[in-house]
Structure 1
Amino acid sequence: MPLSHDVSGQGPGPVVVLLHSSVCDRRMWDPQVPVLTDAGYRVVRCDFRGFGDSPVADGPYGDAADVEVLLDHLGVERAALVGASYGGKVALEVAAHRRDAVSALVLLCSALPGHEPGAELLAFDEREEALFEAGDLAGAVELNVATWLGPEADDDVRGRVRAMQRHAFEVQSAAAEEFSPDRREVDLSLVGAPCLAVSGAHDLADFREIARSVAERVPGARHMELPWAGHLPGLERPAEVGTLLTDFLRAAVPVHH
């Protein structure tokens, strides 16, 4: 089993899978896990390869395929997916390829398969790569903390993101060989689950546009913009996002007591 993961919650409640941003690892969901389990859900969260406790890939792979293998391994036939940033992109791919296996979809400032980055995101990518190639991991970490956290993030949250991103950079830079995840074609019209696409008013324009685009292209999806949020609202206002998730999931995937 390539992905390190944990399962929280008792009983036969509906399963919710939490998929992390590529700035973080599964620890980003620490505030939301108890909220979701208290609401009656079983919660699965994992680390993508090269993040958290999951080793880097030693050959060709796909993050969405890894998530599908994990769900099969756990015997989960149907689950709601909650994805942040890159994790949202992975969630969309799973939802399009395994339509009947996904009961609901929440995308928090999601990336999008096939999205062409705008000038702001391209500039970030170029700066991050230059710092990484120069061996300035501390500089690359600080660039990510400054770019992805909105004004609501306090010093504790910035420290947590700093630690998660630093760990990922260290694991990935130590790898003997780097493999990029495969890119399957994704037809958003095939997504059949109720979908909420959330954007942050303080986020990069790319991700605000993606949320609007998903709401237009996924049947029945709706868009919500959080006026206070940057790119990682689940860390910036964890309690508010916990309520947002449980409210949406209760309507889409009710817990039967």
Structure 2
Amino acid sequence: MTLSHDLAGQGPSTVLLLHSGVCDRRMWDGQFHALAEAGHRVVRCDLRGFGDTPVDAAHTHADDVRELLDHLGVERAAVVGSSFGGRVALELAVRHPAHVSALALLASGIPGFTPGDELRAWGGREDELLEAGDLDAAVELNVDTWLGPEAGPEVRALVREMQRHAFEVQLAVPEEFHPVTPEVTADDLAGIKVPALVAVGAHDLPDFRAVADDLTRLLPGARRVDLDWAGHLPALERPDETARLLAAFLAEAGR
């Protein structure tokens, strides 16, 4: 199955945008056309179980992404990943390194991460609400947890819509169709040799600042940027500033 996706731009370099686990490809509305106007061919997709992409089989997200790039005839792409999408980007760079020319990781997850107290508490509360059938409260928990102080009502409404849809799709998926998580070690991450941007928000959970520490240490080509205004979803909280940050990194990586 080919992931649902959008294309913009005709540039010689390709940029692939991978969404967070509380969003779908609509989270990139503020960067999608801006990066195309900066001279890139831009692809944004919905991973299985998000947006317009159903779950019809067991799958590995990084392999799905590689198959999408093959379908589009893209040999190499700079991959931008937000949160869960950052983890998928790292798995792609390990499993299919020839397809990745650069990595921009925004509040990224990391393979094999052990959550701290706050993240475990959030996960436990989400599980309780979903098991009780209180989808509204589970959605609000995620909106409140993952958006920083600069997210306005329209952004909160969009995340609410995207998260609710993801819950509705994923809760109906039979266990045999659940994603298969590939094993990726610290040594694997240290073997990623492409330029990397590691960005993290000051208002994010401590776990993700710890992940940024780990990625900055492990990735040989990493440059870290701390965003003093951001929560967990900077692409939605300050879309124009995030677009400029990504465009500048991609231009530097292209050189």
Which band: TM-score by shorter chain?
Answer: over 0.9
Q: Tell me which residue corresponds to 2:183.
A: 185
Q: Which residue of structure 1 lines up, in the alignment, with residue 215 of structure 2? A: 214
- Contiguous gaps of at least 5 residues in structure 2: none
Shift of 1:177: 4.2
User: Per the alignment, in what secondary structure is the counterpart of residue 7 of structure 2?
Assistant: strand
Deviation of 1:7 (Å): 1.2
Q: Which is further off, 171-180 or 123-132?
A: 171-180
Q: Is the 8 A contact 1:17 1:81 kept in 2?
A: yes
Measure how far apart 1:2 and its partner are.
Answer: 3.8
CA distance 1:140–1:178, shift in 2 (3 Å): farther
The question of 1:64 aligning with 2:62 is answered: yes
Residue identity (%): 60
**2:202 partner amino acid:** A
Provide the C-alpha distance between the structure 2 equivalents of 1:79 and 1:113, rounded to a whole number of angstroms.
21
* 2:109 paired residue number: 111
Q: How far is the alpha carbon of 1:173 from its aligned partner? A: 2.2
SS of the residue 1:15 aligns to: strand
Provide the residue aligned with 2:5 in structure 1: 5
CA contact (8 A) 1:2 1:55 kept: no
CA distance in 1, matches of 2:247, 2:176: 38
Distance in 1 between residues matched to 2:164 and 2:86, nearest whole Å: 21
Whole-Å Cα distance in 1 between the matches of residues 234 and 129 of structure 2?
Answer: 26
List per-residue Cα deviations over 1:96-132 (Å, max 9, x = no partner). 2222321110000000000000010000001001111
Whichever residue aligns with residue 39 of structure 1, its letter is: A
Matched, 1:49 2:31: no
Q: Which residue number in structure 2 is paired with residue 250 of structure 1?
A: 251
Residue 79 of structure 2: aligned partner? 81
TM-score if structure 1 supplies the norm length?
0.95
Query: SS in structure 1 opposite 2:182?
Result: coil
Select between 231-240 and 180-189 the one with higher mean Cα deviation.
180-189
Task: State the alpha-carbon separation in 2 of the partners of residues 3 and 34 from structure 1.
Answer: 20
Deviation track 1:52-75 (CA, whole Å, cap 9, x = no partner) reads: 00002x332100010011111111
Q: Which secondary structure state, in structure 2, belongs to the residue aligned with residue 192 of structure 1?
A: coil
- 5 Å matches for 1:124-135? 124-135=122-133
Distance 2:64 2:217 in 1: 28
CA contact (8 A) 1:99 1:190 kept: no
Aligned match of 2:90 = 92
Q: 1:2 & 1:72 partners in 2: Cα distance?
A: 10
Aligned length: 252
Amino acid at match of 1:218: L
